[in-house]
Structure 1
Amino acid sequence: MGSLYQTNVSKSSTPNIIQDLKVIIHETTTILPPQETEKRSMFLSNIDQVLNFNVETVHFFVANPQFPPELVVEKLKMALSKALVPYDFLAGRLKLNPESQRFEFDCNGVGAQFVVGSSEFELGEIGDLVYPNPGFRQLVQKSYDEVDMQDRPLCILQLTSFKCGGFALGVATNHATFDGLSFKTFLENIASLAADKPLATVPCNDRHLLAARSPPQIKFDHPELLKIPTGIDLPNPTVFDCPEGQLDFKIFNLTSNDIAHLKKKAKDGPGSTNVKITGFNVVAAHVWRCKALSSGSDYDPERVSTVLYAVDIRSRLNLPLSLACNAVLSAYASARCKEIEEGPLLKLVEMVNEGTNRMTSEYAQSVIDWGQVNKGFPHGEFLISSWWRLGFADVAYPWGKPRYSCPVVYHRKDIILLFPDIVGASNNEVNVLVALPSKEMEKFEELFHKFMA
Structure 2
Amino acid sequence: MATILPNSAMQDLKVIFQESMLVFPAQESTGKKSIFLSNIDQILNYNVPTANFFSSNPKFPPESVAQRLKIALEKVLVLFDFMAGRLKLNQESGRLEIECNSAGAGFVVASSECSLEEIGDLGRPNLGFQQLAVHSLKNLVPDSPDDQPLCIFQITSFKCGGFAIGMSVNHILHDGISAKTFKDILASQAFEEDKPFPFTPCIDRRLLAARSPPTVEYPHPEFFKPQLPDSGPPAFDCKRETLDYIILKFTPNDINYLKQEASKDTTKKISSFDVVAALMWRCKALSYMQEDHKEKPDRVSTLLNVVDLRSRLNNPPLPQPYCGNAVLVASSSAKCADIEHGPFSILVEMVSTAPASVTSEYARSAIDWLEVHKGLPCGEYMVSSWLRLGFDQVEYPWGKPLYSCPVVSHRKDICWVFPDRHGINALVSLPPPEMEKFKFYFQSFFI
TM-score range, shorter chain: over 0.9
Q: Matches of residues 269-284 of structure 1 in structure 2 within 5 Å? A: 270=265, 272-273=266-267, 275-284=268-277
Cα 1:44–1:412 change in 2 (3 A) is closer
* Distance in structure 1 (CA, Å) of the matches to 2:446 and 2:309: 32
Per-residue deviation at 1:280? 0.9
Per-residue deviation at 1:147? 4.6
> Structure 1-normalised TM-score?
0.91
Give the 3-state SS of the residue equivalent to 2:224 in structure 1: strand
Aligned to 2:164: 168
Pairing 1:30–2:22 present: yes
Per-residue deviation at 1:138? 1.2
Conserved 8 A contact 2:245-2:408: no
Give the 3-state SS of the residue equivalent to 1:217 in structure 2: coil
Paired AA for residue 383 in structure 2: I
Cα 1:373–1:81 change in 2 (3 A) is same
Q: Matches of residues 7-86 of structure 1 in structure 2 within 5 Å? A: 7=7, 15=8, 17-38=9-30, 39-86=32-79
Paired AA for residue 384 in structure 2: S
Conserved 8 A contact 2:236-2:376: no
Unaligned 5+ segments in structure 2 are none
Per-residue deviation at 1:25? 1.6
* Distance in structure 1 (CA, Å) of the matches to 2:61 and 2:137: 29
Aligned to 1:11: none
1:326-362: CA deviation from partner (whole Å, max 9, x where unpaired): 0011111001112212221111111112211111111
Paired AA for residue 331 in structure 1: A
Aligned to 2:190: 194
Per-residue deviation at 1:439? 3.4
Per-residue deviation at 1:261? 1.0
Per-residue deviation at 1:47? 0.4
Paired AA for residue 199 in structure 2: T
Cα 1:388–1:147 change in 2 (3 A) is farther
Per-residue deviation at 1:417? 2.2
Conserved 8 A contact 2:234-2:376: no
Aligned to 1:430: 424
Q: Matches of residues 190-269 of structure 1 in structure 2 within 5 Å? A: 190-195=186-191, 196=193, 197-229=195-227, 231=229, 237-240=236-239, 243-244=241-242, 247-268=243-264
Cα 1:150–1:117 change in 2 (3 A) is same
Paired AA for residue 166 in structure 1: G
Aligned to 1:12: none
Conserved 8 A contact 1:95-1:149: no
Give the counterpart of 1:442 among 424, 430, 436: 436
Aligned to 1:315: 311
Per-residue deviation at 1:204? 0.7
Aligned to 2:101: 108
Unaligned 5+ segments in structure 1 are 8-14
Paired AA for residue 444 in structure 2: K
Give the 3-state SS of the residue equivalent to 1:84 in structure 2: helix
Aligned to 2:278: 285
Conserved 8 A contact 1:308-1:382: yes
Conserved 8 A contact 2:241-2:410: no
Give the counterpart of 1:89 among 78, 82, 85: 82
Conserved 8 A contact 2:190-2:396: yes
Paired AA for residue 329 in structure 1: L
Conserved 8 A contact 1:293-1:299: no
Give the 3-state SS of the residue equivalent to 1:184 in structure 2: helix
Conserved 8 A contact 1:412-1:435: yes
Per-residue deviation at 1:2? 1.5
Give the 3-state SS of the residue equivalent to 1:194 in structure 2: coil
Q: Percent sequence identity over matched residues?
A: 54
Query: Please, what is the CA RMSD of the aligned residues?
Result: 1.8
Shifted more, 28-37 versus 392-401: the winner is: 28-37
Conserved 8 A contact 1:281-1:352: yes
Aligned to 2:176: 180
1:356-399: CA deviation from partner (whole Å, max 9, x where unpaired): 11111111111111111012210111111222332211101000
Aligned to 1:156: 152
* Distance in structure 1 (CA, Å) of the matches to 2:263 and 2:132: 43
Aligned to 1:10: none
1:94-121: CA deviation from partner (whole Å, max 9, x where unpaired): 1111111111110111221211111112
Give the 3-state SS of the residue equivalent to 1:322 in structure 2: coil
Conserved 8 A contact 2:236-2:377: no
Aligned to 2:347: 348
* Distance in structure 1 (CA, Å) of the matches to 2:91 and 2:410: 34
* Distance in structure 1 (CA, Å) of the matches to 2:85 and 2:431: 40
Instruction: Count matched residues.
Output: 434
Conserved 8 A contact 2:134-2:168: yes
Per-residue deviation at 1:200? 2.5
Paired AA for residue 6 in structure 1: P
1:276-298: CA deviation from partner (whole Å, max 9, x where unpaired): 41111111111111111121143
Cα 1:235–1:96 change in 2 (3 A) is closer
* Distance in structure 2 (CA, Å) of the matches to 1:237 and 1:283: 24
> Structure 2-normalised TM-score?
0.92
1:129-177: CA deviation from partner (whole Å, max 9, x where unpaired): 1112111111112225765454111121111111111111111211100
Conserved 8 A contact 1:94-1:149: no
Per-residue deviation at 1:232? 6.0
Give the 3-state SS of the residue equivalent to 1:352 in structure 2: helix
Aligned to 1:368: 367
* Distance in structure 2 (CA, Å) of the matches to 1:363 and 1:148: 40
Aligned to 2:401: 402
* Distance in structure 1 (CA, Å) of the matches to 2:412 and 2:66: 37
* Distance in structure 2 (CA, Å) of the matches to 1:41 and 1:235: 20
Give the counterpart of 2:294 among 294, 298, 316: 298
* Distance in structure 2 (CA, Å) of the matches to 1:111 and 1:309: 34
